Amino acid sequence: MSPVIPLHPIGASAGCNDAPVLRERGQREVFCGLTGIIWLHRKIQDAFFLVVGSRTCAHLIQSAAGVMIFAEPRFATAIIDERDLAGLADANAELDRVVERLLSRRPDIKLLFLVGSCPSEVIKLDLSRAAARLTTAHLPKVRVLNYSGSGIETTFTQGEDACLASLVPELPAVDSSAPPNLLVVGALADVVEDQFTRLFDELGIGPVQFFPPRQASDLPPIGLNTRFLLAQPFLSDTARALEARGARRIPAPFPLGAEGTTLWLQAAASAWGLEQAHVEHVIAPKRERAESALARHRLQLAGRSAFFFPDSQLEIPLGRFLSRELGMTLTEVGTPYLHRQHMAEELSLLPAGTCLSEGQDVDKQLDRCRAAQPDMVVCGLGLANPLEAEGMTTKWAIELVFTPIQGFDQAADLAALFTRPLQRRARLVA
Ligand code: SF4
């Protein structure tokens, strides 16, 4: 069988693989990992997320999720109050009571996450022991796991990484004689999952499972013959945990845009030893449809400049998409953390000479942004309003995590997330 040749050749020394990176370790403006609960609770439909935190944590979750609740929410906050902080109450006993009440009221919960926060870390509440204790008390009806969503030294997408990493030990094992299976890792909208399922099916790749699954009772099996594709770029701990269980990552760019999706699928096809002609036959019509849907966005975006503040860890794949498929120039691409191994294929596709930065010193970065006067700034909510007031056009990074943007059918929707702010700005100044 002939190997699958990528659409655009990827060379290890091409693009920005060897480019210098500006590393900054100053004040940061990002949401904490609790934010991930907003999309994870909608994805795993029988899971509940109990934040063990303060009223601030409760407000963050409620205001971020408030507009999206259509049914009884599957998240809540067990408030740590002054008595707990002063060590006057037995926080473990109170937590057990809260969990008992919750589970007796909500028999639909099959998986309970105790989510740590800054306050629970400060009082050193051991949530892993609490989870083990509560699992013993509530199995087989409910499994209790824990992870940290604390904002201390983390960024908001790491909440998903920590959540999925905590789930990896629960995945059932398959032995080495089992046929190879593909695991797609990272929360995707159901509509995107369904599209990828059909594509893998047409290609002849399978069995395919998605992680996280839609139901906690449907955890995908894992073993030495499991190959996994990252669908999100912020899952380094999860990838490490999967590799520790014998699964092997398929190196690939991320499935953003027509090109990214093509290369992502081709990487899986190559791992499955499929004929290039067959892969091209399956993929080409979808890719061409995506490329033609992108054309009208390219007319509006080509030649414009974009500046990325570090926020979601999607910045490098998005920068690659904007520059290669929409003709934008990249003034600066900032990322909270640069995982060189997981980003190798993306970095090799970025135009040589792109200014890359990792971490943040927000005032210095704002100065660079103001000096550059880019046409589009991708940043967190906290920076967007002040920059808009200064006349800049912004895109909220968090919207790119909430919106289905992966795959061929979403390529134009992804581009539209960037054209709309420019159209809005044009209307404002007209
Ligand atoms: S976890 Fe920390 S950063 Fe996040 S809302 Fe609670 S106190 Fe704030």
Q: Are residues 332 and 409 in the same domain?
A: yes
Lookup result for tokens 């269980």: 245
**Domain stops at, among 119, 154, 189:** 154
> What ligand 1 atom has the least distance to the C-alpha of 56?
5
Q: Are residues 254 and 295 in the same domain?
A: no
* 58 in contact with ligand 1, CB cutoff 6 A: no
With a 6 Å cutoff on the Cβ, whether 159 touches ligand 1 is no
Out of 154, 172, 202, a domain closes at: 154
**Ligand 1 test: best mutation among 49, 118, 121, 156, most atoms within 8 Å of CB?**
118
Q: Is residue 107 part of a domain?
A: yes
CATH of the domain at 238: 3.40.50.1980
Walk along the chain (430 residues) and give the pLDDT tens digit of each residue: 333 333 344 444 468 888 889 998 888 877 899 999 999 998 999 999 999 999 999 988 887 776 555 557 889 999 887 666 666 568 888 899 999 999 999 999 999 999 999 989 888 889 999 999 999 999 999 999 999 999 877 789 999 999 999 999 999 999 888 899 999 999 999 999 999 999 999 999 989 999 999 999 999 999 999 999 999 999 999 999 999 999 999 999 999 999 999 999 999 999 999 999 999 999 999 999 999 999 999 999 999 999 999 999 999 999 999 999 999 999 999 999 999 999 999 999 999 999 999 999 999 999 999 999 999 999 998 899 999 999 999 999 989 998 999 999 999 999 999 999 999 888 877 7
In a domain? residue 7 = no
Angle, in degrees to the nearest 10, between helices 276-301 and 190-203: 140
In a domain, 338, yes or no: yes
Q: Is residue 200 part of a domain?
A: yes
Report yes or no: 397 and 314 within 8 Å, Cβ to Cβ: yes
Nearest CA to ligand 1 atom 5: 57
CB 222 within 8 A of CB 249: no
Give the span between the Cα atoms of 12 and 85, in whole angstroms: 51
Parent domain of 75: 33-154
Residue 390 within any structural domain of the chain: yes
Q: Is residue 3 part of a domain?
A: no
Ligand 1 pocket member 79 (CB < 6 A): no
β-pairing, 226-230 with 208-211?
Answer: unpaired
Q: Answer whether 56 contacts ligand 1 (Cβ < 6 A).
A: yes
The arrangement of strands across the sheet holding 248-249 comes to: 208-211, 181-185, 226-230, 248-249
Burial of 317 per CB tally in 10 Å (0-12, 13-18, 19+) = buried
* Protein residue with least CA distance to atom 8, ligand 1: 57
Q: How far is the CA of 119 from the centre of ligand 1 (A)?
A: 8
115 lines ligand 1 (CB under 6 A): no
Does residue 281 sit within a domain? no
Same domain? 138 vs 242: no
* Total domains, the chain: 3
Q: Give residue 102 CA to ligand 1 midpoint distance, Å.
A: 22
Q: Is 54 touching ligand 1 by the criterion CB < 6 Å?
A: yes
Q: Is the CB of 150 under 6 A from ligand 1?
A: yes
Residue 328 domain-assigned?
Answer: yes
Nearest CA owner, ligand 1 atom 6: 57
Q: How many angstroms does the Cα of residue 217 sit away from the middle of ligand 1?
A: 30
pTM over 0.85, yes/no: yes
Indicate the residue among 238, 271, 304 that finishes a domain.
271
